[in-house]
A and B are shown apart, each in its own frame.
Chain A
Amino acid sequence: MRRTKALRIALTLQIAGLILELLSLLRLTPATFMLFLGAGAPLIGLGCFIYLFLVIRDMIRKEVL
Chain B
Amino acid sequence: MILALTSPLVLTSGLVILSLLIAAYLWTGGGELAAGRAGKLLFLAGALVFPLVALLAGASQDMRGAEQTKFCLSCHEMGPFYHSLYVDEDDAIPALHYQNRYVPRDAACYTCHRDYTMFGTLKDKLTGMHHVYVHFLGKIPDPDKIALYKPYPNSNCLQCHGGSRKFDASSDHNSKDAPLADIYSGKISCGTSGCHDSIHMIKDLKDENFWKPKPEEQP
A interface list, Cβ under 8 A from B: 1, 3-4, 7-8, 10-12, 14-15, 17-19, 21-22, 24-26, 28-31, 33-34, 36-37, 41, 44-45, 47-48, 51-52, 55
Contacts and interface: CB of A to CB of B under 8 A. Distances in A.
Given A7-B30, A33-B65, 14 more contacts: A7-B47, A8-B30, A14-B19, A15-B20, A21-B58, A30-B132, A31-B136, A33-B62, A34-B132, A34-B136, A36-B58, A37-B59, A44-B52, A45-B55
A59 to B, nearest CB: 12
Interface residues of B, number: 38
B9 A18 contact: no
B102 interface: no
A63 to B, nearest CB: 17
B43 to A, nearest CB: 7
A40 to B, nearest CB: 8
B69 to A, nearest CB: 13
A48 B65 contact: no
Given A8-B27, A11-B47, A37-B59, A25 B136 contact: no
B46 to A, nearest CB: 8
B189 interface: no
B47 A14 contact: yes
Contacts of A41: 55, 59
Given A12-B27, A29-B74, A36-B62, A22 B51 contact: no
A3 B58 contact: no
A17 B56 CA distance: 13
Given A22-B13, A28-B71, A11 B23 contact: yes
B31 interface: yes
Contacts of A10: 47
Contact of A18 (B31, B48, B51, B136): B51
A19 B211 CA distance: 42
Contact of B55 (A1, A7, A26, A44): A44
B61 A25 contact: yes
B169 interface: no
A22 B55 contact: no
